[in-house]
């Protein structure tokens, strides 16, 4: 992880107690889940998606769309909820997205989204959880 102080921090040992082994690999070691395997890939209920680690709200359901890429996709995040980091691993240049409160890896954002924002926040289901809200549109 980046040598930065976050408002919600834990030791590696504590993260391993809080997160499942898969969640730890993805969120703390920048892993990824297999495409089309995550529980939120085709999930379209009304509500808010939270960081699995610290419960910060990250995405509203109205920003979610079916991208066909195999991971939950959003065209925007909630203000100040995401940190953007240049990622040059795997022989490509991408923008990694982290929770701004705890630094947990969420996925990557791409400039190929089909909506007016032009963004596709490609997120691991293991990095988020869902809070339903019937009042949201």
Asked whether the predicted pLDDT for residue 82 surpasses 80, the reply is: yes
- The two three-digit tokens of residue 34, written as one number: 């297999």
Query: Mean pLDDT throughout 48-76?
Result: 96
pLDDT tens digits along 94-119: 999 999 999 999 999 999 999 999 99
Domain boundaries, the chain: 12-132
State what percent of residues in the chain have pLDDT above 90. 89
pTM: 0.91
Longest dimension (CA), the chain: 44
CATH 3.40.50.300 matches 12-132: no
Paired residues of 85 in beta bridges: 96
Q: Which one is catalytic: 51, 99, 102, 122? A: 122
Describe the strand order of the beta sheet including 47-51 as a list of residue ranges.
Answer: 57-60, 47-51, 128-132
Paired residues of 84 in beta bridges: 97
Active site residue 122: yes
Q: How far from the centroid of its chain's Cα atoms is residue 28's Cα?
A: 12
């Amino acid at each position: 992880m980046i040598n930065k102080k976050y408002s919600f921090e834990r030791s590696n040992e504590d993260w391993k107690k809080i997160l499942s082994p898969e969640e730890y690999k993805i969120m703390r070691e920048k892993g990824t889940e297999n495409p089309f395997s995550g529980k939120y890939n085709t999930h379209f209920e009304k509500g808010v998606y939270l960081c699995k680690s610290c419960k910060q709200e990250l995405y509203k359901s109205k920003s979610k769309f079916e991208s066909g890429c195999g991971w939950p996709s959003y065209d925007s995040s909630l203000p100040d909820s995401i940190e953007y980091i240049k990622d040059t691993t795997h022989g490509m240049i991408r923008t990694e997205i982290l929770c701004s409160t705890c630094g947990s890896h969420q996925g990557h954002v791409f400039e190929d989204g089909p909506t007016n924002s032009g963004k596709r926040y490609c997120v691991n289901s293991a990095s988020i959880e869902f809070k339903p809200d019937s009042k949201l549109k």
